[in-house]
């Protein structure tokens, strides 16, 4: 499929014209009933309310044209059918398929990438058997059931799964808890291990490559704690890794596979998330997450942008970023469960779309991915919302909210529940950002026209969490397709890793030979080690 650059698409020129005078949301009556009620896009559980974006029908029609001209839905279909999308033409690259959607293409009869889905099914069967064993007979050496799991992994092997675990802790199997060690900072491992009864804890080591420094170091750290406690690690340690990786070894109690066509940051619905989430929530809840994700994967095939939530979200993002010139986007969930969701999205979005070259290896002449950040509301309101309302930088906001709480345990104060207070705050922020406030007093003046949208569902459940994950994964992929970049590699993380290894080589040489000096082979690195006081001058 020939890919065009964003600025080669005729619709982009029209959008540039339209962006000179975007709709003014601060005008009296701009946020009218008809606009609010008609600018809603719904897919299954989620409604996207976007009347508070600076778009009108002309802009939306032209964004539709942009979607059609870039063949963005065809590109998604090609991805899901197994085309090699992770590549840069004519240059050495990962050169892989991108098939995270195959992990959840289990419900529609005929999967789009049959071989990948049958591999996912095989791993799911293994997981089901393992969880049944844990319920029935798999116990520790003293015959007691396992109560805790520590997931050791980093990046994609940590952020997505951890975000989902926190989001769904309300549905946790009683008596089971999960903990995470990701950072190579020894304090991370020490503080997590301190509160645990290791004899009743499983350790789930997750690394697709089986070579990641942080993960292998932390695995050894935790193994040493088991040995010190007189426990046999082979009865506690589980692996999730690529088939044939250095971690694909019989030393583990159980091993699960993930495959090279699943990118780390897109792997929460593979066994990377599955083993831990299955342990914490039960097998059926994990399947519900997959079901939710698959519903969105299928809804994303819709070509009408007004009926396709991830596509509309992607296009609104491009409108704000490339046409209105906003540098960042804040993701603001009004749900405490989503406390780690922005952290997951920071990786998923910025590692995917923080690129400067096209899929043909040419430098981009327009902006690619924005800076993504966020925190749950209403806490954020008492922190950084000042800047969002009155600062000199315009920050488009993506609010996420739910009509009902997870625990259904609430309190009425002044005739409203806490959940209603939460929802009212979300809607009020959205409106305030859009309409602003006129005032003679410049200190109390709110400029308004600050674009935002709201993703709203009934309740945060395993299924809606799966939907939310897939909405954002797909939004990110759609944006990458339109920018004509490869959203599925991460070469930008390699240089730092290489230099860290070089510095570690110096430190290790110093431990072996006190007279060692790296000044001639690596003057900058060696001097920096000295300047930072890591080695003596």
Q: Per the residue annotation, which of 214, 219, 351, 473 is the catalytic one?
A: 351
Binding-site size for ligand G6Q (CB under 6 A) equals 14
373 or 516, CB closer to ligand G6Q? 373
Region for residue 134 given its phi and psi (left: phi exceeds 0; alpha: psi -120 to 50; beta: otherwise): alpha
* Residue 369 binds to ligand G6Q (criterion: CB under 6 A): no
> Which residues lie below 8 Å from residue 219, measured CB to CB, with a gap of 6+?
152, 203, 205, 237
Distance CA 403, CA 46 (A): 11
The number of residues making up the chain comes to 537
Taking CB under 6 A as the binding criterion, the range among 20-28, 121-129, 149-157, 385-393 that sits at the site for ligand G6Q is: 149-157
Q: How far is the CB of 478 from ligand G6Q (least distance, A)?
A: 18
Q: Which two tokens stand for residue 107?
A: 């419900």
Applying CB under 6 A, among 5, 53, 119, 212 the residue interacting with ligand G6Q is 212
- Contact between 256 and 271 under an 8 Å Cβ cutoff? The reply is yes
Which string of x and - marks every residue 328-357 that binds ligand G6Q (by CB under 6 A)? Answer: -----------------------x------
Measured from the CB atom, the residue of 67 and 205 that comes closer to ligand G6Q is 205
Give me the least distance between CB of 146 and ligand G6Q, in Å please.
Answer: 23
Can residue 152 be called a binding residue for ligand G6Q (CB under 6 A)? no
Q: Is residue 207 a contact residue for ligand G6Q (CB under 6 A)?
A: yes
> Could you tell me which of 468, 105, 482, 107 has the C-alpha nearest to residue 309?
468
Q: Smallest gap, in angstroms, from Cβ of residue 267 to ligand G6Q?
A: 7
- The distance from CA 131 to its chain's CA centroid, rounded to whole angstroms, is 26
Copy the structure tokens of residue 397. Answer: 């906001």
CB of 343 to ligand G6Q, least distance (A): 12
Residue 6 beta carbon to ligand G6Q: minimum distance, rounded to whole angstroms: 24
Which CB, 75 or 212, lies closer to ligand G6Q? 212
Binding segment for ligand G6Q (CB under 6 A), chosen from 118-126, 262-270, 291-299, 378-386, is: 262-270
CB nearer ligand G6Q, residue 450 or residue 475:
475
Catalytic residue among 251, 307, 438, 497: 497
Got the DSSP string for 252-263? Answer: SSEEEEE-TTS-
Return the exposure string of 84-114: e unless at least 16 CB atoms fall within 10 Å of the residue's CB, then b: ebbbbeeeebbebbbbbbbbbbbeeeebbbe
Q: Which is nearer to ligand G6Q, 263 or 448 (CB)?
A: 263
Active-site annotation holds for 351: yes
Q: What is the DSSP string of 333-381?
A: ES-GGGGGHHHHHHHHHHHHH---B-TTSPBPSS--PPEEE---TTGGG
Selected binder of ligand G6Q within 265, 298, 306, 389 (CB under 6 A): 265
Q: Which is nearer to ligand G6Q, 179 or 208 (CB)?
A: 208
| Beta bridge mates, 177 | 148
Please report whether residue 157 would count as binding ligand G6Q according to CB under 6 A. yes
Residue closest to 335 by CA, chosen among 378, 305, 365: 378
> Using CB under 6 A, which residues numbered 485 to 524 contact ligand G6Q?
490
Which residue, 473, 480, 394, 475, is CA-closest to 433? Answer: 394
Instruction: Choose among 348, 332, 287: nearest CA to 472.
Output: 348
Dist. CA 242–CA 215, nearest whole Å:
14
Q: CA-CA distance, 427 to 334, in Å (whole number)?
A: 10
The residue within the footprint of ligand G6Q, chosen from 111, 233, 264, 436 (CB under 6 A), is 264
Among 22, 111, 156, 273, binds ligand G6Q (CB under 6 A): 156
Q: From the candidates 382, 414, 498, 511, which is the catalytic residue? A: 382
> Can you give the binding site for ligand G6Q, defined by CB under 6 A?
154-157, 207-209, 212, 215, 263-265, 351, 490
Catalytic positions: 351, 382, 497
């Amino acid at each position: 499929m020939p890919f065009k650059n964003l600025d080669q698409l005729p619709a982009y020129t029209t959008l540039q014209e339209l962006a000179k005078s975007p709709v003014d949301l601060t005008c009296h009556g701009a946020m009218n009933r008809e606009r609010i009620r008609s600018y809603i896009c719904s897919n299954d559980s989620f409604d996207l309310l976007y009347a508070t974006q600076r778009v009108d029908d002309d802009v939306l029609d032209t964004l539709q044209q942009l979607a059609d001209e870039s063949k963005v839905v065809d590109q998604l279909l090609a991805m899901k059918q197994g085309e090699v999308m992770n590549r840069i033409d004519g240059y050495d690259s990962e050169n892989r398929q991108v098939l995270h959607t195959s992990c959840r293409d289990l419900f529609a009869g005929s999967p789009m990438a049959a071989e990948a889905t049958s591999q996912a099914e095989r791993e799911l069967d293994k997981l089901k058997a393992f969880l049944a064993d844990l319920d029935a007979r798999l116990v520790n050496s003293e015959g007691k059931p396992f109560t805790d799991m520590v997931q050791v992994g980093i990046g994609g092997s940590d952020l997505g799964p951890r975000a989902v675990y926190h989001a769904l802790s309300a549905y946790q199997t009683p008596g089971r808890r999960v903990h995470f060690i990701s950072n190579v900072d020894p304090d991370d491992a020490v503080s997590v291990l301190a509160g645990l009864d290791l004899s009743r804890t499983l350790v789930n080591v997750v690394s697709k490559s089986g070579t990641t420094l942080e993960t292998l170091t932390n695995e050894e750290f935790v193994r040493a704690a088991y040995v010190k406690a007189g426990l046999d690690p082979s009865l506690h340690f589980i692996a999730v890794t690529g088939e044939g990786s250095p971690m694909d070894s019989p030393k583990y109690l159980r091993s699960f596979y993930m495959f090279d066509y699943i990118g780390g940051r897109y792997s929460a619905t593979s066994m990377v998330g599955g083993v831990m989430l299955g342990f914490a929530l039960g097998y059926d809840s994990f399947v519900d997450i997959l079901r939710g994700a698959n519903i969105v994967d299928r809804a994303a095939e819709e070509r009408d942008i007004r009926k396709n939530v991830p596509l509309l979200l992607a296009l609104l993002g491009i409108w704000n970023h490339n046409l209105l010139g906003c540098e960042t986007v804040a993701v603001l969930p009004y749900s405490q469960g989503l406390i780690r969701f922005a952290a997951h999205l920071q990786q998923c979005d910025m590692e995917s779309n923080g690129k400067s070259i096209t899929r043909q290896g040419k430098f981009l002449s327009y902006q690619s991915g924005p800076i993504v950040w966020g925190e749950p509301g209403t806490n954020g309101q008492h922190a950084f919302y000042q800047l969002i309302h009155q600062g000199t930088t315009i920050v488009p906001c993506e609010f996420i909210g739910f009509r009902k709480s997870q625990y259904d345990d609430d309190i009425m104060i002044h005739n409203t529940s806490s959940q209603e207070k939460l929802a009212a705050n979300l809607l009020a922020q959205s409106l305030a950002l859009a309409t602003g406030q006129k005032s003679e007093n410049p200190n109390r003046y709110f400029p308004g026209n600050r674009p935002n949208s709201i993703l709203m569902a009934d309740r945060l459940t395993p299924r809606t969490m799966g939907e939310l994950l897939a909405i954002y994964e797909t939004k990110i992929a759609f944006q990458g397709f339109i920018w004509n970049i490869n959203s599925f590699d991460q070469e930008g993380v390699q240089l730092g890793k290489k230099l860290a290894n070089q510095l570690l080589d110096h430190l290790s040489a110093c431990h072996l030979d006190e007279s060692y000096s790296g000044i001639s082979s690596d003057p900058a690195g060696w001097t920096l080690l000295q300047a930072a006081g890591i080695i003596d001058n």
